Structure 1
Amino acid sequence: MHLGVFEVAAPQVGGTLSWSHPWSGSRHHRELGHWTGIARLLEDAGFDFLFFADGYGYPTVDGDLPPAAARGGLNFSGLDPVLLIPALAAATSRLGFVVTCSTGVDHPVATARRFGTLDHLTGGRVGWNVVTGASQDAVAALFGHREMTAHDRRYEIAREHVELCLKLWEGCWEDGALVEDAEAGVFADPERLHRVEHAGTHYRSSGYFTVPPSPQRTPVLFQAGTSTAGREFAASTAECVFLQGTTPAHAAANVADIRARAAAHGRDPRSVKVLVGATVTVAATAELARERRAEFERMQTDEVASVIYAGNTGIDLLALPQELPLHEALARAADPRVGQMGQSNIDRFRRPDGSTPLVREVLAELRGRGTRGFTVVGDPREVADQLEELVGTTDVDGFLLEAVFSPGDHELFCELVVPELRRRGRLPHEEERAAGGGTLRERLGAPSPRLSADHPGAAFAARPSAGPSAGSAADLAAAR
């Protein structure tokens, strides 16, 4: 069972309110010690990685920041988690780090350089959560764009963005191109460097990638999104998919669809790891766990749920007719943002027959849950039972844990649930962890630090040119 922790460098996570409760320590999110403490805790417990969601946006209603978002710190305020990673890597030795980076902001060269650098500094322990953006209307305005890019076009841009990054990571430096022979005075073999030429629909690039190959070359590629376009993108490109499920049946259908699409792309469907979000509230007894969960739920309101949903979808649920099904209310509202922002958070409420719950029912479900995945409450045995049952019924490979009171929930899970999962053989013991590979890709089950041969990025790997061999380092030095 693979385990990660879902966090943000912000007051709270998961589309809910909790930072102001005495049990929450997330007010310290601007302090480095807060994060190094969490990283060490997760590493000692055997977690695979710490995952940071990120984005430039914030909730908007009628084109502006709702006062409730500012008052409550609801998806408003946040630091750049990329800048935390080198410090967290220095404080740990095995834990992986996954960072969200949108394909709709920077040029792929900047993205490739950033993650190539992080892969070096972490010793191959970094992953890129590829997203097409969040709160896109706010982001478009912040960056001076005239309008928000349409949903499916954002995925077209994302595919090309990732393709160019793969060309840079995999296609510029041959294995052995980095020589670093101080005695001969040769840093790199020019005959083993290849110019990258890309002239696409959305990006152009011509030149050499200046970051030498890192331990993984390409960071582990994560993707979060369960719209049709999102699942297709994940199946063709992602190595690990993060999804949120409203019901086990809904999650199982998404997992099966992603694996089938991966097979259609010629990939081993089991090589695509699928993790689902889970909010676990655990205590020594089930009664204490329920009391802890109740403390959290008492803080949630319809206003909190509506503001968070607006940030993800551009839709103000409180402004819609409460007694209409969601899809019908959205159709009547005729909001141009519908379907162009956070499609996954619209589709998650769609039933197999295409219908949706009433708007008031959606609000009730979001209240206390937000954009989180499954809710698991109980003592250590009950929690382990529920997690095992979810794995069995959905075919997911593990969980991204979304704390309500961070870091306290992480501490309780590590203290109470990890030993129980290890006893059941769901988590490796210390000696098994030590025997595994050192990169994040290997930690997630891959046989090598590099992309698998059936991943489309492997086709961009640099190969020896048809010209004469570059010869030894001494030959290269003499040629100078």
Structure 2
Amino acid sequence: MHLGVFEVAGPQVGGTLSWSHPYSDSVHHRELQHWIDVAQLLEAAGFDFLFFADGYGYPTVGGDLPAVAAAGGLNFSGIDPMMIIPTLAHHTSTLGFVLTSSTGVDHPVATARRFATLDHLTNGRIGWNIVTGASQDTIAQLFGHTEMVAHDTRYEMAQEYVDLTLQLWEGCWEDAALVQDKESGVFADRDKLHRVEHVGKHFRSSGFFTVAPSVQRTPVLFQAGSSDRGREFAAGQAECVFLQGTTLPHAAANVADIRARAAAAGRDPQSVKVLVGATVTVAATHDEAIARRAEFEDMQTDEVAAVIYAGNTGIDLSALDPDRPLSQIHESSDGRIGQMGQSNIDRFRRADGTWPLVREVLEELRGRGTRGFTVVGDPIEVADRLEEIMDVTGVDGFLLEAIFSPSDHRLFCELVVPELRRRGRLLAEEDRPAGSGSLRERIGGSSPRLSADHPGARYVPEPTTV
């Protein structure tokens, strides 16, 4: 079972309200020691990585920041998690770090440089969660764009964006290009450096990538979109896919679809690891866990749920008829519908093609937000449910989304991790195979480098012979 923790460098995770509860310490998210403690806790428990969602956006209704979003810290306010990773790497030795970075903000060269630098500073423990954007209408305004880029165009841009970063990471430096020989005075062998020339529809680049190859060269590529276009992109590029499961059949269908698409793209489908979000509330006894979860649910309201959903999808549920299906959104002339947060629209479409009532959507969002599976119980019950989800859906593990951070992480490590180890689902650090220091190896790769069937491998140059 692969395990990561889904976090934000902000007040709370997952489109719900919890930061003000006594169980939560997330108000300390601007303090380094807060994250050092979290990272060391996860590493000691054998987690594979700490994952940071990130973005510049925030919820809007009618084009403005709602008072409830500001007051509730609802996807509003936060710091750049990329800045704290070198410190966390210094205080850990095995834990990986996955960072979200959009293909719709910076030029690919800037992104490639940052991630290559982080891979050096973490000694090969970095991953890139590739997103095409979030709260895209807000982003367009913040960055002075005249209009929001259409959903399918964003994926077209993302494909070219990732393609160029792969050329930079894999195609510029041969393995023997970095010499660093003081006696001869040669730092790099010019004959083993290759110029990158890219002229695309959305991006251009001509020149040499200045960061020497890191342990992994290319960070582990994560992707979290579950729209049809998102799954197609993930199957072609991602090494690890993050899904938000609503039901076991829904998650199983998505896993099977991604792996079938990966095979069609010429990749080993089992090399694509699929993780699903899970909010675990655990306590020593069943009743204590139920009571803890109830305290969280008592804080949630329809207003909170509606504001978060509007920020993610552009859909103001409070303005819709609560007794009609969600499909009424398609009657709107608002051009944003279907152009942002498509995964969080599609998640409510039933297998038979019908849609729930808006009041039913609000009811689910009220206690769940944009999270995945909800698991509540004592350690045995939690372990049983996690095993069931894995066995039925075919996922490779979980991204845990705390409601009370970081106390939920501590309880999981204290109560559930020992049970998972007893069942052989989770390895202790000393039992892991030797040579698994990079994040890519930790999640199942045979080496720190991209696999030979990944599209990026085609950019690796033939060694120059003298």
TM-score range, shorter chain: over 0.9
* 1:120 is the counterpart of 2:120: yes
> Is 1:285 equivalent to 2:290 in the alignment?
no
Cα deviation digits, residues 354-381 of structure 1 (max 9, x gap): 2110011000000010000000000000
Query: Is contact 1:196-1:208 (8 Å) kept?
Result: yes
How far apart, CA to CA, are the structure 2 residues paired with 1:366 and 1:94?
35
The alignment yields a C-alpha RMSD, in angstroms, of 0.8
Shift of 1:332: 2.3
1:256-295 equivalences under 5 Å are: 256-295=256-295
SS in 2 for 1:222: strand
Q: Secondary structure at the match of 1:306?
A: helix
What residue in structure 2 maps to residue 452 of structure 1? Answer: 451
User: Residue 440 of structure 2 aligns with which residue?
Assistant: 441
Residue 244 (structure 2) aligns with: 244
1:351 matched to which residue of 2? Answer: 350
- Cα distance in structure 1, aligned partners of 2:433 and 2:411: 24
In the TM superposition, 1:219-230 aligns within 5 A as 219-230=219-230
Q: Distance in 2 between matches of 1:437 and 1:262?
A: 24
Gaps of 5+ in 2: none
Deviation at 1:436, TM superposition (A): 4.6
Report if the CA contact (8 A) 1:310-1:316 is conserved. Answer: yes
Aligned-pair CA distance for 1:42: 0.1
**Structure-1 residue corresponding to 2:329:** 330
Query: What amino acid sits opposite 1:240 in the alignment?
Result: C
State the partner residue of 2:38.
38
Task: Give the C-alpha shift of residue 66 in structure 1.
Answer: 1.0
Unaligned runs of 5+ in 1: 470-480
CA distance in 1, matches of 2:418, 2:463: 50
Supply the distance in 1 between the matched residues of 2:321 and 2:461 (Cα, whole angstroms).
57
Tell me the distance in 2 between the aligned counterparts of 1:430 and 1:221: 24
- Looking at structure 1, the residues matched to 461 and 82 of structure 2 have their Cα atoms a distance apart, in angstroms, of 28
% identical aligned pairs: 76
Q: 1:434 Cα shift?
A: 6.3
**After superposition, where does 1:139-158 map in structure 2 within 5 Å?**
139-158=139-158
| Structure 1 counterpart SS, 2:34 | helix
Report if the CA contact (8 A) 1:279-1:403 is conserved: yes
1:153-192 → structure 2 map (5 Å cutoff):
153-192=153-192
Q: How many residues align?
A: 466
Task: Encode CA deviations 1:113-157: one digit per residue, 9 max, x unaligned.
Answer: 000000000000000000000000000000000000000000000
**Which amino acid is the alignment partner of residue 361 of structure 1?**
E
Q: Distance in 1 between the 2:428 and 2:313 partners? A: 42
User: Contact (CA 8 Å) 2:45, 2:428: kept in 1 or not?
Assistant: no
1:364 aligns with 2:360: no
> CA offset at residue 45 of structure 1?
0.1
CA distance in structure 2 between the partners assigned to 1:333 and 1:29 by the alignment: 39
Question: In structure 2, the residue corresponding to 1:99 is in which secondary structure?
Answer: strand
Partner in structure 1 of residue 67 of structure 2: 67
Alignment correspondent of 2:95: 95
Tell me the alpha carbon deviations over residues 262-287 of structure 1, each in whole angstroms, 9 at most, x when there is no partner.
Answer: 00000000000000000000000000
* Contact 1:46–1:433 (Cα < 8 Å) also in 2: no
2:16 partner amino acid: T
Deviations along 1:174-197, one digit per CA (max 9) or x if unpaired, are 011000001110000000000000
- Following superposition, the deviation at residue 12 of structure 1 comes to 0.2
Shift of 1:393: 0.7
SS at match of 2:50: strand
Deviation by residue 1:393-416 (Cα, 9 ceiling, x = unmatched): 110000000000000000000000
Give me the whole-angstrom Cα distance separating, in 2, the residues matched to 1:211 and 1:435: 28
The AA in structure 1 aligned to 2:383 is A
Q: TM-score under structure 1 normalisation?
A: 0.96
Q: Which amino acid aligns with 1:152?
A: D
Output the CA distance in 2 between the equivalents of 1:131 and 1:357: 28
Q: Residues 284, 436 of structure 1: CA spacing in aligned structure 2 closer, same or farther, 3 A cutoff? A: farther
- Residues in 2 aligned to 1:331 and 1:242: alpha-carbon distance in whole angstroms: 27
The corresponding residue for 2:134 is: 134
Q: Which residue of 2 aligns with 1:203?
A: 203
Counterpart residue identity of residue 364, structure 1: E
User: What residue is the counterpart of 2:321 in the other structure?
Assistant: 321
Give distance in 1, aligned partners of 2:462 and 2:205.
Answer: 20
Match of 1:476 in 2: none
Q: Does the residue aligned with 1:242 lie in a helix, a strand or coil?
A: strand
The answer to whether the 8 A contact 1:103-1:131 is kept is yes
SS across alignment from 2:368: coil
Give the conservation status (yes or no) of the 8 Å contact 2:177–2:188. yes
Per-residue deviation, 1:108: 0.2
> Which residue of the partner structure matches residue 412 of structure 2?
413
Q: Distance in 1 between matches of 2:320 and 2:347?
A: 18
Residue identity opposite 1:104 in structure 2: G
Q: Return the offset for 1:352.
A: 1.5
Counterpart of 1:408 in structure 2: which amino acid? S
Q: What displacement does 1:311 show?
A: 1.1
SS of aligned partner of 1:41: helix
Q: Are residue 253 (structure 1) and residue 275 (structure 2) matched?
A: no
**Letter aligned with residue 273 of structure 1:** K
Report what 1:477 is aligned to: none
In structure 2, the residue matched to 1:382 is 381
CA distance in 2, matches of 1:435, 1:167: 30
SS class of match (2:128): strand
Distance 1:205 1:436 in 2: 36
Partners of 2:300 and 2:447 lie apart in 1 by 45
Give the structure 1 partner of residue 395 of structure 2: 396
Match of 2:427 in 1: 428
**CA contact 1:320–1:333 (8 Å) conserved in 2:** no
CA-CA distance at 1:429 after TM superposition: 2.2
Determine whether 1:77 maps to 2:77.
Answer: yes
CA deviation digits over 1:189-241, x for unaligned, max 9? 00000000000000000000000000000000000010000000000000000
Where 1:241 maps in the other structure, the secondary structure is strand
Residues 381 and 420 in structure 1, CA contact (< 8 A), matched pair in contact too:
yes
